Structure 1
Amino acid sequence: EADLFLTAEQSLLLGHPLHPTPKSREGLSESESRRYSPELHGSFPLHWFAVDRSLVATDSAWTEGGPATADELLAPHAAGL
């Protein structure tokens, strides 16, 4: 079964308002652009790391609240850190 989120992200040829710099390629080589561009089906591993809450600053121009905050989504995964 196809991952519907991944399929949707890879179909956005012109970006969308939730990405800070949609489809920005400045500074990327052609091979990097192919590797990191979702619409070209680029693939790379993500590396997660823990950061003390006092070092994190967040803000958003998006005014609608989602069903869950990042803290709520990540809490089960951060328990052992």
Structure 2
Amino acid sequence: MLARLSSGREVGLAPASFAEHASKTSTGIILRDVVTPPIVADLSVLWRADDPSPTIATAVETARQCAEHNKWLRDPST
């Protein structure tokens, strides 16, 4: 997608995280919000309950820390 955008052969709709990254790292790519306020989507992290992988534990902990830092977690009672 980035190659086509950079060559001028494509206009794209992408998740905000990808669009922000692309506009910062690729010359000639412009980021414009499509709607105001931005669309917000609830995301969840899923993994197998019986997977003792340290990699999974690290990924889940990283997601938790990121959500906490950005105040993405909401009160489950609401």
- TM-score, structure 2 as length reference: 0.30
- TM-score, structure 1 as length reference: 0.29
Question: Which structure features the higher share of helix residues?
Answer: 2
